[in-house]
């Protein structure tokens, strides 16, 4: 029997509201409800400060909807409006709840909470997918999503079959980057990725309301990412580029646990602070045995379109030097350019909208360096064993 939104609302009328409403079903804190096949996804609006107390309501809502006949999975997120102009680092509530990796990941005792790799997986851990590459940054706002999207397009332009997965649960940007706002179709238990510019694309943003930043807890991050990895019919891909959330938290660990990552690309701007965060990102991936495929320096320099002046606004060469110091390849640099920003905002990143531009060529060189490293480098590592401490 197909599950309807009405069924879900009825179940939620038995759950208390976080405000004065008679029930969660009647509360303005309840978001739009997405019913995708047998899976139900919605969010409850709160503030970062109140997230702890609303957690019990989130759990009650999840339990109530899970009991509805025909429902197989329920994902309920706590969300908080993003303050205008703010970046979206994981809020403190999430940090407190973050799973922590034990020191001796490989020495985990038998029976420790190391979730199994996806059933029926092969190769990279997703049937048909040859390489999975995480694009990450130590800090938010350095241009990680812009880089992931343009590098994915540049790989596609080189004749490869490419997927792009937006795992940035704290602020998915891929729907805007590709102007995609519909819900994925469902075939059986699998979601079909959307397609744009020749890429197969999946984003957590297709499943939840746009415009809200989410307060995700460790287990929720894992469950959402696992679903995007294993319950999406990616088909045959040479490479799946994954746009990670900033930082070194739950999502990175989930990715490292659930699939064989071919490696991670770290995006940084040239400032010292960003580089220090990038260093932490590199260290975290190394701890879980994920190879670093290289570092990209974004917003490296600025060429004035009027006078031609070449300026290093944030210093220059920091990422290249840092890569060398860390024994990591340097994949290339991308300038700060209005065109890169405006094309991303308008739904056709620069590699798709101006493939002959110097900017697109910069991404092309990075994609080439990345692919060379992937196709000639060591085979993907096995999924490590990680202990989650709660
Ligand atoms: N090379 C560039 N030149 C000009 N603008 C850029 C460049 N790279 C990224 N931007 C702009 O900077 C902003 C942040 O970029 P983006 O969303 O890719 O960063 P992010 O690191 O993924 O951020 P978040 O941490 O919010 O996920 C966007 O408005 C984007 O268009």
99 occurs within a structural domain: no
Residue-level pLDDT at 380: 40
Mean pLDDT score, 278-287 = 81
Rounded distance from Cα 179 to ligand 1 centre (Å): 16
Residue-level pLDDT at 99: 23
Question: According to the annotation, is 138 in a ligand binding site?
Answer: yes
Q: Which residues pair with 264 in a beta bridge?
A: 134, 292
Q: Sort strands 162-166 and 186-187 into parallel, antiparallel or unpaired.
A: unpaired
**In the predicted model, is pLDDT for residue 98 greater than 80?**
no
Is the CB–ligand 1 distance for residue 176 below 6 Å? no
- Return the residue whose CA atom lies nearest to atom 11 of ligand 1: 341
- Return the residue whose CA atom lies nearest to atom 5 of ligand 1: 341
Q: How confident is the model at residue 218 (pLDDT cuts 50, 70, 90)?
A: low
Q: What CATH number should be reported for the domain holding residue 141?
A: 3.40.50.300
For 113-117, 130-134, 367-371, which range has the lowest pLDDT when averaged over its residues?
A: 113-117
Query: 300 and 371 share a domain?
Result: yes
The DSSP letter of residue 271 is S
Question: According to the annotation, is 139 in a ligand binding site?
Answer: yes
Query: 72 and 220 share a domain?
Result: no
State phi, psi for 361 to the nearest 5 degrees.
-65, -35
User: 69: how many CB neighbours lie within 10 A of its CB?
Assistant: 7
269 occurs within a structural domain: yes
16 occurs within a structural domain: yes
Mean pLDDT score, 314-328 = 79
Atom of ligand 1 nearest to the CA of 87: 26
Pocket mutation for ligand 1, best pick of 141, 151, 247 (most atoms within 8 Å of C-beta): 141
In this prediction, what percent of the chain has a pLDDT beyond 70? 73
Is the CB–ligand 1 distance for residue 205 below 6 Å? no
Is the CB–ligand 1 distance for residue 87 below 6 Å? yes
Please give the span between the terminal C-alpha atoms of the chain, in angstroms, as a whole number.
Answer: 37
Residue-level pLDDT at 102: 24
Question: According to the annotation, is 141 in a ligand binding site?
Answer: yes
pLDDT, the chain, mean: 77
Residue-level pLDDT at 377: 67
Rounded distance from Cα 389 to ligand 1 centre (Å): 33
Domain count, the chain: 2
How far is residue 147's CA from residue 218's CA, in Å, rounded to a whole number?
A: 26
Query: 36 and 166 share a domain?
Result: no
275 occurs within a structural domain: yes
223 occurs within a structural domain: yes
CA distances for 261 relative to 9, 138, 239, 383, angstroms: 39, 18, 11, 8
Query: 136 and 262 share a domain?
Result: yes
- Return the residue whose CA atom lies nearest to atom 6 of ligand 1: 341
Cα 292–chain centre separation: 17
Query: 71 and 172 share a domain?
Result: no
Is the CB–ligand 1 distance for residue 183 below 6 Å? no
Query: 201 and 334 share a domain?
Result: yes
Query: 204 and 60 share a domain?
Result: no
Query: 177 and 324 share a domain?
Result: yes
Atom of ligand 1 nearest to the CA of 335: 1
**In the predicted model, is pLDDT for residue 124 greater than 80?**
no
Is the CB–ligand 1 distance for residue 125 below 6 Å? no
Residue-level pLDDT at 277: 79
Q: What CATH number should be reported for the domain holding residue 47?
A: 3.30.300.130
Rounded distance from Cα 142 to ligand 1 centre (Å): 6
Atom of ligand 1 nearest to the CA of 142: 21
Domain boundary among 81, 115, 139: 81
**Dmax over Cα atoms in the chain, in whole Å?**
66
Query: 276 and 345 share a domain?
Result: yes
**In the predicted model, is pLDDT for residue 208 greater than 90?**
no
93 occurs within a structural domain: no
Atom of ligand 1 nearest to the CA of 88: 26
Supply 202's token pair. 């999946």
**In the predicted model, is pLDDT for residue 358 greater than 90?**
yes
Rounded distance from Cα 244 to ligand 1 centre (Å): 13
Question: According to the annotation, is 145 in a ligand binding site?
Answer: yes
For 108-122, 211-225, 338-352, which range has the lowest pLDDT when averaged over its residues?
A: 108-122
Q: Greater confidence, 224 or 15?
A: 15
Residue-level pLDDT at 353: 96
Tens digits of residue pLDDT in 12-54:
999 999 999 999 999 988 887 877 778 787 778 777 667 677 8
Query: 31 and 138 share a domain?
Result: no
Is the CB–ligand 1 distance for residue 88 below 6 Å? yes
User: 127: how many CB neighbours lie within 10 A of its CB?
Assistant: 15
Query: 49 and 161 share a domain?
Result: no
Rounding to the nearest 10 degrees, give the CA dihedral for residues 7, 13, 16, 20.
130
**In the predicted model, is pLDDT for residue 120 greater than 50?**
no
Is the CB–ligand 1 distance for residue 344 below 6 Å? yes
**In the predicted model, is pLDDT for residue 382 greater than 50?**
no
Tens digits of residue pLDDT in 233-278:
999 999 999 998 777 666 676 677 677 889 999 998 887 666 777 7
Query: 67 and 206 share a domain?
Result: no
Instruction: Name the 3-class secondary structure at 207.
Output: coil
Domain boundary among 64, 81, 98: 81
Question: According to the annotation, is 317 in a ligand binding site?
Answer: no
- Parent domain of 25: 5-81
């Amino acid at each position: 029997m197909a599950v309807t939104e009405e069924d879900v609302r009825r179940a939620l009328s038995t759950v208390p509201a976080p405000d004065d409403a008679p029930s969660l079903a009647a509360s303005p804190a309840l978001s739009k409800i997405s019913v995708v096949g047998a899976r139900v996804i919605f969010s409850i609006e709160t503030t970062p400060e109140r997230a702890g107390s609303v957690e019990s309501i989130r759990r009650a809502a999840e339990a109530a909807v899970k009991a509805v006949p025909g429902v197989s999975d329920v994902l309920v997120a706590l969300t908080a409006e993003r303050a205008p102009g703010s970046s979206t680092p994981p809020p403190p509530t999430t940090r407190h709840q973050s799973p922590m990796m034990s020191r001796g990941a490989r020495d985990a005792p038998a029976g420790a909470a190391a979730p199994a790799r996806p059933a029926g997986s092969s190769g990279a851990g997703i049937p048909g997918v040859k390489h999975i590459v995480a694009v990450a940054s130590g800090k938010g706002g350095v241009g990680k999503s812009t880089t992931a999207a343009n590098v994915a397009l540049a790989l596609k332009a080189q004749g490869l079959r490419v997927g792009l997965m937006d795992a940035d649960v704290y602020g998915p940007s891929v729907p805007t980057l590709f102007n995609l706002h519909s819900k994925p179709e469902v075939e059986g238990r699998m979601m079909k990725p959307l397609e744009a510019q020749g890429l197969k694309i999946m984003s957590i943003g297709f499943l939840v309301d746009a415009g809200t930043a989410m307060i995700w807890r460790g287990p929720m991050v894992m469950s959402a990412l696992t679903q995007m990895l294993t319950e999406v019919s990616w088909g045959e891909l040479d490479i799946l580029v994954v746009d990670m959330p900033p930082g070194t938290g739950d999502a990175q660990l989930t990715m490292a646990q659930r699939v064989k990552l071919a490696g991670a690309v770290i995006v940084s701007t040239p400032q010292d602070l960003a580089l220090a965060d990038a260093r932490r990102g590199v260290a975290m991936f190394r701890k879980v045995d994920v190879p670093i495929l290289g570092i990209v320096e974004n917003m490296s320099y600025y060429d004035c379109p009027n006078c031609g002046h070449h300026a290093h606004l944030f210093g220059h060469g920091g990422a290249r030097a840092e890569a060398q110091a860390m024994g990591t390849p340097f994949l290339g640099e991308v300038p700060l350019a209005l065109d890169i920003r405006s094309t991303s905002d308008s739904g056709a990143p620069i590699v798709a909208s101006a493939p002959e531009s110097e900017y697109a060529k910069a991404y092309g060189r990075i994609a080439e360096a990345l692919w060379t490293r992937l196709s000639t480098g060591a085979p993907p590592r096995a999924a490590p064993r990680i202990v989650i401490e709660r």
